[in-house]
Structure 1
Amino acid sequence: MTRAGSPPPLDGLRVVDMSTSYAGPTASMYLADLGADVVKVERPRTGDDARSWCPPSADGASAWFASANRNKRSVAIDLRSADGIAVLHRLLADADVLIENLNPSKLAALGLAPDDVRARHPRLVYCAMSGLGLTGPDAALPGYDLVAQARSGLMSVTGAAGGSPQRVSTALSDIVTGMAAALAVTAAVVRQRATGQGDLVDVSLLDSDLALLAPRVAAYLAGEPEPAPSGGTDSVLAIYQPFPTADRDIVIAIGNDVIWRRFCVAVGLTALAEDDRLGDNAGRRAHRSELVATITDVLARRPAAEWLAVLAGAGVPTSLVQGLSEVTTDPQVLARGAILPVPGSDGALNGVRSPFRLASMPEPRNERFPELGEHTVEVLRQAGFEAAAVERLLASGAVAAPAATADRRVS
C-alpha cells in the first residue's frame, strides 16, 4: 500500500556536512532528498569550493554547485577560531551524522580527526570521505576524480580502440562515492537508531572506482588479457557496442543467445542465427571482428530511426547515442521527472533527480540551494544559542551570515 504524503524515510535525521567540492555534497544531498535535515558548514567569505566553479553560472551561482546542494541549510563557521570549533561541537552534540572530506592533518590540528570526534560524540555516525581511504601508505595524499579514475584503472579501459586512455567525461568518481557514502551512512543510522551506537564510515574515490571495475578486475584475475581502451566494445559480451547507421550511431546490447537470434532475424542475417559456431557468446567472441564487419555493413544501409523501430519490435535492446540536447528533452527522461529546475532560477539552473523513486514520496523534495551562511542565525538559535551569543559570534567573525539574515534577530 502506498503511503503518499507520509513523512519521508529520513525525516528527523540530523546531518552536519563539512565537505566541499562534489563527492561529499552529493552524499548529503541524497540524504536530504530522503528527508534529512542537512546543515552545510562552510568557510566564511568563500564557502564551498564548488561555489566558484564558473562558468557556467546564473545570477552569480555556479551550475555545478547548484547541482549538488539542494535541500540544505548553510551556516558559515570559522573553524580556525576557538569559538567556531565550539559552535561546531554544539551542532554535533545534537547531530546524527557528520560528513567531512578535509585533509587528515588539518582535521587533526582542529581536533576533528575521527577518533577525537567519536570519543566526544560516541553516538555520531562519522563519514570520512577521501581520495584514497583512511588506511594504507598513501592515505594522506590528496585525491580528485581524475586521479581516482587514473589510479583505479578506469581510464586504462576507456577510450577509442587503439587510442590513449581517457577520463569518463563527468564527475563519475565523486558521484558514485557520494552514492556509496549515502548507502553506508543510512545503514549505520539503522543500527544507531536501534542501539544508540555510532560508527566510522570510510569511503574513498579510489574504492568507488574499483567497485565500478569489479567485472573487469574479476575477468583479468581469472586469466583474461589485461584490457585496453576498446571504443565502447564490451570485453566479455559479443555483440555489445555502438554501430554507425546511414545517418548516426546506435548501440546494440546482445546480452544472451536468445537476443542474438532475434537480432539476426530482425536485420536479415538469418544465416548467422543458424550458424552453430555463433550459438553462444564464446563463439561470437571468437569471431567478433568478422561479425562486427558484417553487421556494420548491414546497418549502414538504413537510418537509425528505422533500425530502432525494427530492433525494438524484435525485443533487442538498443538506443541512439544521444547528446545532452536530446537527453534533456527525451520523453522518458521527462516522464520520470529526472530534470529538476532550481526554484527561483527561471530555468537557468537545473539539477538531476536522485536515481531512486519511493512510493511514499511521489514528488521529489526540491528546495533551492542555500546562499553562503543563509541559515547561520536560524541554526544557531535552534541549537540553543541565545540571541546575545549569536550577536557576539557574528561580531567576532567566528560565524558569518548575509546581512539580510543577520539583521533578522530572534529575540
Structure 2
Amino acid sequence: MQGDTQGLPLSGVRVLDLSRVLAGPWSAMVLGDLGAEVIKIEHPERGDDTRDWGVRVGQTETAYFNSVNRNKRSITVDLQTPEGQQIVRELAKTIDILVQNFRFGGAEKLGIGYEQLSAENPRLIYCSISGYDRTGPEAERPGYDLVVQGEAGQAPLKFGVAAVDLFTGMYAAQAILAALYERQRTGRGRHIEMALFDCGLMITAYYGLEALLIGEDPPRYGNAHPSIVPYGVFDAADGPLVITVGNNAQFERFCREVIERPDLAGDGRYTTNILRGRNRETLLPELTRELGSRPRRLLLERLARAGIPCGEVAGLREALLSPRATQGGLVTQQPHPHTESGTTPVLAPPWRFDGERMPVRYAPPQLGEATQAVLQSALGYSAEKLAELKDKGVI
C-alpha cells in the first residue's frame, strides 16, 4: 500500500511541511492520513527537534517523532543557505498547501513568507502556526503548550499530553480543508493563521463560559465532572472503575439496581442532576462507601444491565494491546531497517471512510530518506546538481 493514494479523499493534493515539534506536524499528518502527499522539510543534520525526544527508534527517530509524522516523506534542506531557500521556493510552486511554525517574521526573512510565495503560486494555501495572535502585541513571543495551558486557566497539573498543541493542529487541518474547498470556487489560496493561545482558550469550553458567568474560576474536581454527579473514577473493593450517570433515570436505576440504595434515589436532595451537583459533598461519601464494599466485576455487570456507561480502568499499554484496539486495526507494525525486530509500532489514523480505515502508507520517515527522490521527481534535479548541493551541505 506504500505511497498509494488511489481512492483516498485528498489524493493528488501536495503539502510542504516546514513545521517542527507538534502542532504543525500534527496538522500536516492529518492531511497525509487523508491521502495528501506530504513532504517534510528538515535540517540536514539535526532534523526535527523531536527526533531527539523520548524513546529511541532506530537511528534517527523517536516515539515522539513517530507519533506525529506518519504518512510523510522527509527531505533535508538547510534553509539558512540561499540554495536551500531556493529549493523551497521552487517546491512551493508545485504544491497546494504549506504549513510552517517559524517565529514571527522568520519565514519572511528566509524569503518564504506567504506574500512572497503566493505571488508565484496564487492557489497556495499557507498555514502559519504561532504562540499568539500574529496581529497583536505578543506576535513575536514564542509559544509553548505548557505556557498556554497555564495562561488559559487550566489547573496547575497540565494535561498528560500537549493538548493545546494537538487541538491547534486539528483546528489548523480543519481550516486548511475549508480553504481547499473554497479554492474550488475561487481558484485562489488563503493565508491561515493559528495561535496556540486562541485554541487553548477555545478548548476550555463550558469551563470558560462558567468562569465568565460566575465571575471566578470554577472549582476543580479532578476526575469528577463539574456538572454531572456521579461521574468519574471510583474504587470498588478490588480495583478502580469508571461510572458515568448521565441523567436522572440512570441515577434512579443506579441507586436501586447497582448499589441497592433506593433511599438515595428518593432523597429530595438528589432527585435532579443540578441538586446532586449542589449536594455532592453529602452524596459522594455514601456512593463511595457502597461501591467500595462490592467487587468490580459485580458492579460492572449490574451497571451494564442498568444501561449505565461504565468500564474498567486500563493502563495505556493494556488499552493499546486490548482486543478492541487490535481488532480495530488501531496499532500497526511498520517495516524498519534499524530495529532488532525489523518493525516498529505506528498508530493508525482514526478515520474510516465507507467502512475502511485510512491506511498508514508511509512509516514515520528516517531523516532525509526521500531527499534525492523528491528533488529529482518534483524539480527535475540532475544527479550532478544533487551531488553539488550535498557537497555544499545544503541537503
Decide whether aligned partners of structure 1 residues 386 and 170 sit closer, same or farther in structure 2, where only a CA change above 3 A counts: closer
- State the identity as a percent: 35
| Aligned residues between the structures | 386
Q: Tell me the residue number matched to 2:348.
A: 353
Matches within 5 A, 1:85-100: 85-100=85-100
Distance 1:181 1:112 in 2: 19
Quote the offset at 1:142 in angstroms.
1.0
Instruction: Find out whether 1:180 has 2:171 as its counterpart.
Output: yes
Contact 1:128 1:202 in 2 (8 A): yes
Q: Deviations over 1:20-61 (max 9, x none)?
A: 111111111111111100000111111111111133444553
Q: Deviations over 1:363-404 (max 9, x none)?
A: 523421212111111111122334133333233322x2xxxx
Distance 2:314 2:194 in 1: 32
Distance 2:233 2:379 in 1: 59
Decide whether aligned partners of structure 1 residues 171 and 320 sit closer, same or farther in structure 2, where only a CA change above 3 A counts: same
Distance 2:200 2:56 in 1: 27
SS at match of 2:192: strand
Q: Tell me the residue number matched to 2:50.
A: 50
Decide whether aligned partners of structure 1 residues 86 and 204 sit closer, same or farther in structure 2, where only a CA change above 3 A counts: same
Decide whether aligned partners of structure 1 residues 293 and 369 sit closer, same or farther in structure 2, where only a CA change above 3 A counts: same
| From 234, 237, 248, the counterpart of 1:243 | 234
Distance 1:282 1:67 in 2: 41
Distance 2:342 2:376 in 1: 34
Contact 1:104 1:113 in 2 (8 A): no
Q: Tell me the residue number matched to 1:315.
A: 307
Q: Which amino acid aligns with 1:375?
A: A
Q: Which amino acid aligns with 2:377?
A: Q
Q: State the superposition RMSD in angstroms.
A: 2.0
Distance 1:233 1:18 in 2: 40
Quote the offset at 1:194 in angstroms.
3.0
User: Bigger CA drift: 80-89 or 94-103?
Assistant: 80-89
Decide whether aligned partners of structure 1 residues 256 and 103 sit closer, same or farther in structure 2, where only a CA change above 3 A counts: same
SS at match of 2:176: helix
Q: Tell me the residue number matched to 2:292.
A: 300
| From 233, 257, 266, the counterpart of 2:248 | 257
Distance 1:211 1:348 in 2: 39
Distance 1:378 1:335 in 2: 36
Contact 1:90 1:383 in 2 (8 A): no
Distance 1:316 1:361 in 2: 30
Quote the offset at 1:17 in angstroms.
0.2
Matches within 5 A, 1:136-215: 136-154=136-154, 156=155, 165-215=156-206
User: Bigger CA drift: 32-41 or 388-397?
Assistant: 388-397
Decide whether aligned partners of structure 1 residues 278 and 353 sit closer, same or farther in structure 2, where only a CA change above 3 A counts: same
Decide whether aligned partners of structure 1 residues 347 and 17 sit closer, same or farther in structure 2, where only a CA change above 3 A counts: same
Q: Tell me the residue number matched to 1:116.
A: 116
Q: What TM-score, normalized to structure 1? A: 0.88
Instruction: Find out whether 1:368 has 2:363 as its counterpart.
Output: yes
User: Bigger CA drift: 10-19 or 233-242?
Assistant: 233-242
Instruction: Find out whether 1:379 has 2:374 as its counterpart.
Output: yes
Instruction: Find out whether 1:334 has 2:360 as its counterpart.
Output: no
Instruction: Find out whether 1:284 has 2:276 as its counterpart.
Output: yes
Distance 1:186 1:382 in 2: 26
Matches within 5 A, 1:66-77: 66-77=66-77
Q: What TM-score, normalized to structure 2? A: 0.92
Distance 1:272 1:189 in 2: 55
Decide whether aligned partners of structure 1 residues 146 and 289 sit closer, same or farther in structure 2, where only a CA change above 3 A counts: same
Contact 1:173 1:205 in 2 (8 A): yes
User: Bigger CA drift: 269-278 or 43-52?
Assistant: 269-278
Distance 2:181 2:381 in 1: 33
List runs of 5+ in structure 2 lacking aligned partners: none
| From 379, 392, 396, the counterpart of 2:392 | 396
SS at match of 1:277: coil
SS at match of 2:237: coil
Q: Tell me the residue number matched to 1:221.
A: 212
User: Bigger CA drift: 33-42 or 22-31?
Assistant: 22-31
User: Bigger CA drift: 339-348 or 121-130?
Assistant: 339-348
Distance 1:133 1:356 in 2: 31
Decide whether aligned partners of structure 1 residues 136 and 304 sit closer, same or farther in structure 2, where only a CA change above 3 A counts: farther
Q: Tell me the residue number matched to 1:403.
A: none
Quote the offset at 1:333 in angstroms.
2.1
Quote the offset at 1:135 in angstroms.
2.6
Q: Tell me the residue number matched to 1:405.
A: none
User: Bigger CA drift: 109-118 or 13-22?
Assistant: 109-118
Quote the offset at 1:92 in angstroms.
0.4
Q: Which amino acid aligns with 1:389?
A: K
Distance 1:56 1:390 in 2: 30
Distance 2:27 2:101 in 1: 11
Q: Tell me the residue number matched to 1:62.
A: 62
Contact 2:210 2:218 in 1 (8 A): no
Decide whether aligned partners of structure 1 residues 362 and 286 sit closer, same or farther in structure 2, where only a CA change above 3 A counts: closer
Contact 1:240 1:254 in 2 (8 A): yes
Q: Which amino acid aligns with 2:325?
A: V
Q: Tell me the residue number matched to 1:408.
A: none
Decide whether aligned partners of structure 1 residues 356 and 233 sit closer, same or farther in structure 2, where only a CA change above 3 A counts: same
Contact 2:350 2:358 in 1 (8 A): no
Quote the offset at 1:314 in angstroms.
0.9
Q: Deviations over 1:46-104 (max 9, x none)?
A: 11111111334445531111111111111111111111111101100010000001112
Q: Deviations over 1:162-185 (max 9, x none)?
A: xxx201111222222221111111
Decide whether aligned partners of structure 1 residues 394 and 136 sit closer, same or farther in structure 2, where only a CA change above 3 A counts: same
Quote the offset at 1:348 in angstroms.
6.5
Distance 1:248 1:167 in 2: 25
Quote the offset at 1:347 in angstroms.
7.9
Q: Which amino acid aligns with 1:148?
A: V
